[in-house]
Amino acid sequence: MTSLPAKEIYAALEREFRPWECTEVFSTMGLQFDHTEEVRKVYTATFVSDEVMDQIESRGDTHCLLFTHHPVSQKKDLTKDSPPLTEELVERLRKSCISVFNYHIPLDRVSPWSPGTNLAKAMGLTPYEAFYEQNLVKMGLLCHTPFATQTQFAQAAEQTLGHPVKLYRYGDEQLPGGKIALMGGGASNPNIYAWLKEKGINLFFTGMSSPNIPWCARNHVNAKAAGVSIVGGTHYSTEKYAVMEMVKFFEGLGLESEFLPETPNFEEL
């Protein structure tokens, strides 16, 4: 492995993800902090957090790139917007010469790198159609599964994610044709459930599912009315597979790369 000029890495990311083809929900997209001209190693993570920075500092690495899916830390208060990064965390990044680059919507778009594609792969599912358009891209997938029932699927999800999931059972136990829908992170559009029912699907697998989250509450009303169950697996755990896969992207550029795990927020279930 070798080092590369940071600008070459940013250019490679833009060529692959074409950020100009979408819009964004955050105020920034792409390079967040420019703290090194030469990158010796790339770390990938789902969020920018003290937990992630602790791991980088414990390795003693400097002059690195932190590539994340989100430009913020995980929410602690699920009723509020994501808070800005603390001054302390920003200063830690600066002192270690860690640049930060994030793609949120560009990474969410269905592709070999996306959360949906890699969550499906981890679960042993076979995608056959993309759905859920937001910010000019499609993020969700309809999938064939090897499972016959909702219980079997939820049990498999727990085994894959490595922690409990939450099944809100609004649909029949049997999975018609073994099909399900999935979208990593969270899906705020409450109109998808009637559409999924028309497509012969009665189970939707996503990250944030708690009805205590304001925008999730209306989803449960519509899901119950449509007879479509919801399985929640947390925001982090359903999206981490994308940045895990991104290790291969950076290794393909000749760079040492490593994924950094984080702790899920189980209040999201």
Residue 265 lies in a domain: no
Question: What amino acid is encoded at 87 in this protein?
Answer: E
- Does residue 104 have a pLDDT over 90? yes
The answer on 221 and 131 residing in a single domain is yes
Render pLDDT for 135-145 as a digit per residue (tens, 0 to 9). Answer: 999 999 999 99
Render pLDDT for 251-267 as a digit per residue (tens, 0 to 9). Answer: 999 999 999 999 999 99
Given this model, what pLDDT does residue 49 score?
96
The answer on 233 and 168 residing in a single domain is yes
Given this model, what pLDDT does residue 91 score?
98
42: which residues sit within 8 A by CB, 6+ positions away? 9, 64, 65, 66, 67, 247, 250, 255, 256, 257, 258
The answer on 247 and 231 residing in a single domain is no
The answer on 95 and 177 residing in a single domain is no
Domain holding 81, by residue range, is: 4-106+242-260
Render pLDDT for 55-69 as a digit per residue (tens, 0 to 9). Answer: 999 999 999 999 999
CATH number of the domain where residue 49 is located: 3.40.1390.30
Percentage of the chain lying above the pLDDT 90 cut: 96
Residue 269 lies in a domain: no
Residue 138 lies in a domain: yes
The answer on 190 and 76 residing in a single domain is no
- 70 in Cβ contact with 47 (< 8 Å): yes
The answer on 251 and 222 residing in a single domain is no
Render pLDDT for 177-215 as a digit per residue (tens, 0 to 9). Answer: 999 999 999 999 999 999 999 999 999 999 999 999 999
- 243 in Cβ contact with 259 (< 8 Å): yes
d(CA 1, CA 257): 9
- Does residue 154 have a pLDDT over 70? yes
122: number of Cβ within 10 Å: 16
Given this model, what pLDDT does residue 93 score?
98
The answer on 174 and 90 residing in a single domain is no
Residue 266 lies in a domain: no
Domain count, the chain: 2
Mean pLDDT score of the chain, rounded to an integer?
97
The answer on 221 and 121 residing in a single domain is yes
The answer on 157 and 216 residing in a single domain is yes
Residue 205 lies in a domain: yes
Render pLDDT for 234-252 as a digit per residue (tens, 0 to 9). Answer: 999 999 999 999 999 999 9
pTM, rounded to two decimals:
0.97
Residue 128 lies in a domain: yes
The answer on 121 and 90 residing in a single domain is no
The answer on 134 and 227 residing in a single domain is yes
The answer on 120 and 102 residing in a single domain is no
